[in-house]
Amino acid sequence: MATMAYQHQPQARYGNCDTYFVESHDDGIYAIRAEARERARAIARMQQRALAEELSRLTSDEYQEDIMDHLEYMEVSKLNSCPCSVYSFRLGTNYA
């Protein structure tokens, strides 16, 4: 019987690699930094929303009187420019 000088030993398909999946203690630092960045972004978004609301409120307060004056002016000028009133249409009188 002939013996072979080389005997094939079954190996895992990808082989053994001790360094492929390595957990190091530095991974926690990256996660902590990423979490800190995300927290800073969330805080910045909240501050931006608060600032936008405040500016909107200030702008509304600033122009509210002007808007109301303009609405009153337009209402009065429209009523004065019309030769007939809404009530005359309801009564069936048409001046057109």
Q: What is the pLDDT of residue 96?
A: 46
Cα of first residue to Cα of last residue in the chain, in angstroms, is 124
76 neighbors 65 (Cβ within 8 angstroms): no
pLDDT at 2: 54
pLDDT tens for each residue of 72-81:
998 888 777 7
pLDDT digits (tens, 9 = 90+) for 20-53: 555 566 667 888 899 999 999 999 999 999 999 9
pLDDT score of 83: 60
Closest by CA position to 94, among listed 80, 76, 83, 77 = 83
Q: What is the pLDDT of residue 39?
A: 97
Give me the phi and psi of 65, to 5 degrees please.
Answer: -60, -45
Q: How large is the average pLDDT for residues 39-68?
A: 95
- Portion of the chain with pLDDT greater than 70, in percent: 56
CA distance 69 to 56: 20
Q: Which residue has the higher pLDDT, 92 or 65?
A: 65
